Amino acid sequence: MDELRMVRDLYVPPEPAPPQEVAAARARLDAVMRTRRSRPRWALRGAALGAAAAGVALAVAISVTSPRPQMTRPAGPSARTVLLDAALSADRQPVTKGKYWYVDSRIRWLQKVKAGGYLIRSTAQSETWRAAGSSSPASAVGTTHFLGARPATPADEVAWREAGSPRTFLTVEGKRVSGKAGSVTADMRGSDLDMSSFAAQADLDELREIPETPDRLRAWLLALPQSPAGPHPGPTTLPAPGRPSPSPPGPPTRAQLDYWLFVQGVSLLLYSPITPKVRAAAFQMLAELPGVKLIGTVRDPDGRQGTAVAMDRIGPGDRPLRIQRRLVVDTKTGRALADEEVVLGPNTDYPGLPFGVVASTTTVRSAGWTNKAGWTRDH
Amino acid sequence: MTAATGDQATRAACDAAVIRESRDVPERFGAIFDAYFAEIHAYVARRIGPENASDVTAETFLAAFGKRDRYDAERASVRTWLYGFATKLVGKHRRSEMRALYAMDRMPPEAESEELEERLTGRIAAEGLRGRLSSALAELPAGDRDVVLLVALAGLTHEQVATALDIPYGTVGSRLNRARRKLRAALGGTNPLLGLEDNDG
């Protein structure tokens, strides 16, 4: 007889805390964290020391524990310093060569389940190869493997069990998601990556032309036909077959250009066969974007520790989309580890997810030149 | 469906590193809040009901933040450590917890799906059983109930319960055995629903 199991089943899965309550709770903590900031730790040690010495020299103890003039803390790391660190490290890496540029990445995303309200995380594995000798896009090949969905956290797992441990999930968007892995699908273009980025679409010839200094890289990216700053002779050039845009877009704002550059830089760093010099330039370019902020030390879903920098996504008219794009880097090696999206508030991309969660991640497990063409085995 | 041990170890090491950093850069502690608020809230909400759950969870993180200098990674993972604070704070809301427990027999959960309904009917929604179990839980000594619920709801091991509550390892086992005996007695000594009985104590 399992009383403990019965006890667990007795409790109805609770609703997640309403977003405003989470925000209020975080604000309370933020307020306390801020007040602690101005108090250097040596003051605490000084106080302890003072107390120990109190019997001997009371006057000394008092002077040690009495309020001191505010110490100016050394400037902490900023997004800029983190990215410049990464640039320096990237620049020190050796140039490598091989027959194929191979990228092994894992994509994970959260969805909310309708019955039970818990979150599930789906995982897919992606591998792409590009042949070095050819610059034709057709020389790229990729495979994608859906690895199944499962409750996102232990708390979700409890709720999942209480919902009867279903094997397939119906999400709040009405999508059916399987808990089981699917079969491997081949994709001749290797185009599973974020197609809004130049890096995912560029062929190797284009990538060879990329400038190696941040200013020239920036100018070069902005001059690309895909760039929002690129030549716009008129709305007719917009590729919108059957879906005419209601109004021709105005010139892009500074914030829109910056966000676009952020996405391109992130994508180049994560997925593209670029040299250590270009890699360093890309980090430097990101370091100079005003909207980039430092998130801090994070652990990516593969368990690797890195530093996250982020930029908030904006929509037309600089409307905030309440989604934050994050790049996780290992500043010691200058490697880009992961690309993440975080839910900041109500938005259409991630319905029902609690605010503050990392809603989707792509972790690049390895990206580099290899002489082994894995795909020849299967295709 | 628990994560691999390696993942948990990595996670624990990273959490411990964040706590360490937060001693000099307090804002780093925000990452602990972000990682664990939902889980701790789910635990607190079950125990004392949803009304005050967010407040008590917020206080859990404030209490942990205040004690971050004394966190010992050798002794407990951050998760276990947080459950300790949450459980202590839940103890200050005894009346809410009792209200939640006594409300259980009056308000069986709404079955949202046939599958769920079947499961509940099959296991525990049988007439009066919910009420007997929740009353028995309510009548347990507070310390025993803490142990039962940290195991049943939070899924902590005996060792983790011991560190979370700062009690000896052996005490966890004895409280749990005593509590299980009482719960079993309240249910009538046998489990009429499973139709079989084991002999573990």
Q: What is the CATH number of the domain that holds B112?
A: 1.10.10.10
A293 close contact with B: CB closer than 8 A? no
Tell me if A26 and B37 make a contact (CB, 8 A cut-off).
yes
DSSP conformational letter for A44: H
Say whether both B119 and B154 belong to one domain.
Answer: yes
Q: Which residues contact B148 (CB under 8 A, 6 or more apart)?
A: A4, A7, B137, B140, B175, B176, B179, B180, B183
Tell me if B123 and A9 make a contact (CB, 8 A cut-off).
yes
Q: Reduce the DSSP state of residue A255 to 3 states and report it.
A: helix
Which candidate in A36, A298, A363 is best for mutational testing of the B interface (most B CBs within 10 A)?
A: A36
Last residue of one domain, picked from the residues B92, B115, B140: B92
pTM of the model: 0.52
Residue A57: is its pLDDT beyond 50? no
pLDDT classification of A348: cutoffs 50, 70, 90: confident
DSSP A117-183: --EEEEEEEEEEEEETT---GGGEEEEEEEEEEEESSHHHHHHHHHTT--SEEEBTTS-EEESS---
Residue A377: is its pLDDT beyond 90? no
pLDDT classification of B133: cutoffs 50, 70, 90: confident
Say whether both B182 and B123 belong to one domain.
Answer: yes
ipTM of predicted assembly, 2 dp: 0.83
**Integer angstrom CA distances of residue B52 from A21, A27, B98, B134, B154:** 10, 17, 14, 20, 19
Residue A20: is its pLDDT beyond 80? yes
> Where is average pLDDT lowest: A112-116, A176-180, A236-240, B118-122?
A236-240
Instruction: Please report the pLDDT score of residue A114 as a whole number.
Output: 92
- What total number of domains does chain B contain? 2
A-facing residues of B in 106-165 (CB < 8 A) are: 109, 112-113, 115-116, 118-120, 123-124, 130, 133-134, 137, 148-149, 151-153, 155
> Among B64, B67, B108, which Cα is nearest to B86's?
B64
A190 close contact with B: CB closer than 8 A? no
Assess if residue B12 is contained within a domain. yes
Say whether both B124 and B170 belong to one domain.
Answer: yes
The residue type of B94 is R
Assess if residue B128 is contained within a domain. yes
**Domain residues for B134?**
107-186
Query: Residue B113 CA to chain centroid, in angstroms?
Result: 26
Instruction: Please report the pLDDT score of residue A99 as a whole number.
Output: 85
Q: Where are the domains of chain A?
A: 3-75, 87-230+251-370
Say whether both B88 and B112 belong to one domain.
Answer: no
Assess if residue B199 is contained within a domain. no
A303 close contact with B: CB closer than 8 A? yes
Assess if residue B195 is contained within a domain. no
Across the interface, of B7, B65, B119, the residue whose CB is closest to A33 is B65
Assess if residue B99 is contained within a domain. no
Q: What is the CATH number of the domain that holds B58?
A: 1.10.1740.10
Say whether both B120 and B172 belong to one domain.
Answer: yes
Residue A363: is its pLDDT beyond 90? yes
Mean pLDDT of chain A: 78
Tell me if B21 and A151 make a contact (CB, 8 A cut-off).
no
